[in-house]
Structure 1
């Protein structure tokens, strides 16, 4: 059964964490979408940094509204059994739609930020015209909320099968920065660059920051040898790139 965009936002809203200056000023905002292991502390840290820089930041949890804790998320989503990026792209659209209506958010200056599965979901959303029922797994999708999206920030995005950016052009073309890990085992660096170059050929203004790191390099405490290891220096570079990108796209 398909959700309406209102229903999807109503389900997500209790699990959206808000960060920002303690005032009612209408400010630019960044929406952050976590990886397949759920909301982790490093995602909140990015949000706090955005808030300290004067932006509003919203961490959108896609799993708790579905009744999934960390263990369930890893078992169901990281394994690919449930909630592919196309389906979760409805969460992204609904969050933009709902949060744009806040009196303290400047809906004309928004940035979408995603890590791994979250980046996949954002990228899948960019490929959809959103003109017919069922797109993004919503009954009443609309491209209207995306008019205010000025930037897309992607960190070790998952772009392997069945990510739609492999086969579908982007319908929306906000300025985009992709942080790519040269030792990413989920999406080979060479493949990610091929997708980036293809998007460029379609006039998507996308740039990359290529780091000598693994998948999840910015999640402290992660250590699975050559597959996933925390890298403090690369983490700092990603944070600097994040704040710089917000300034360039939203200020």
Structure 2
């Protein structure tokens, strides 16, 4: 199967991007948000609204609708690691940066990536690639220059397990990073996550962590129906506070 160019991939993603921010055309900093394997949930809107109130543009990048996948399909295939693993989806991250950063209402020198679970996996896998040859990020024309304006990564209960490239490969790109970890994450043990954090710090990545005695997807109201995950309003409030502080720090002019 032929690889997409950056432009082709962005053209597929663009019609499904959800946009939030001040109603003007001034060049402003931007955050690109990448959902978990269950698709776009209401929790992402809370973060977008916070960004908009701070004068920052926010874009939720849907990786499933452009591929014609329902949430049920994604749950059965993506959540089980059978389709669209982090390395494959990393092309969506780079293509979204390519397309969004060229918009006149964006200050391309002040960009932040935020990912939840599978979305964080995709972002982290992108960081492991030099992006200097066809095939990197599953694109025919990847270029590391599209990461030049990325000043921060905000990763919420990131998938850090056997299939994640960060476990075995160093990061080629090293933006300041905030990782929100949980003690009851059934997809990645806390001990394993801390081991990776220590490894990244040794590589020179400025990583901060925020830890809660909570489960995976703690910020998604209604997640309790799964029985293995639980909504935690207090943890969400603290995460939003950290998100606000991280935005202010990494996107300042």
Question: What corresponds to 2:111 in structure 1?
Answer: 110
> What SS does structure 2 have at the residue aligned with 1:75?
helix
Question: What corresponds to 1:19 in structure 2?
Answer: 20
| Structure 2 unmatched runs, 5+ | none
Question: What corresponds to 1:3 in structure 2?
Answer: 4
Distance 2:106 2:38 in 1: 28
Question: What corresponds to 1:215 in structure 2?
Answer: 216
Deviation at 1:27, TM superposition (A): 0.3
> What SS does structure 2 have at the residue aligned with 1:111?
strand
Write out aligned runs for 1:115-134 (5 A).
115-134=116-135
Deviation at 1:79, TM superposition (A): 1.2
> What SS does structure 1 have at the residue aligned with 2:229?
coil
Question: What corresponds to 2:193 in structure 1?
Answer: 192
Write out aligned runs for 1:158-169 (5 A).
158-169=159-170
RMSD: 0.9
Distance 1:185 1:224 in 2: 15
Structure 1 residues 225 and 60: CA distance shift in structure 2, 3 A: closer
Q: Deviations over 1:89-125 (max 9, x none)?
A: 0000000010000000000000000000000000000
Distance 2:25 2:98 in 1: 19
Structure 1 residues 165 and 20: CA distance shift in structure 2, 3 A: same
Deviation at 1:221, TM superposition (A): 0.5
Write out aligned runs for 1:136-151 (5 A).
136-151=137-152
Deviation at 1:227, TM superposition (A): 2.4
Question: What corresponds to 1:46 in structure 2?
Answer: 47
Question: What corresponds to 1:243 in structure 2?
Answer: 244
Q: Does 1:175 align with 2:176?
A: yes
> What SS does structure 2 have at the residue aligned with 1:78?
coil
Deviation at 1:39, TM superposition (A): 0.6
Write out aligned runs for 1:60-99 (5 A).
60-99=61-100
Deviation at 1:224, TM superposition (A): 5.0
Q: Deviations over 1:134-191 (max 9, x none)?
A: 0000000000110000000000000101100001000111000000011101000010
Contact conserved, 1:119 with 1:158, CA < 8 A, in 2?
Answer: yes
Contact conserved, 1:214 with 1:226, CA < 8 A, in 2?
Answer: no
State the number of aligned residues.
251
Deviation at 1:225, TM superposition (A): 7.0
What is the TM-score of this pair, normalised by structure 1? 0.99
Contact conserved, 1:111 with 1:152, CA < 8 A, in 2?
Answer: yes
What is the TM-score of this pair, normalised by structure 2? 0.98
Extract structure 1 runs of 4+ deviating beyond 3 A. Answer: none
> What SS does structure 1 have at the residue aligned with 2:187?
coil
Distance 1:205 1:61 in 2: 28
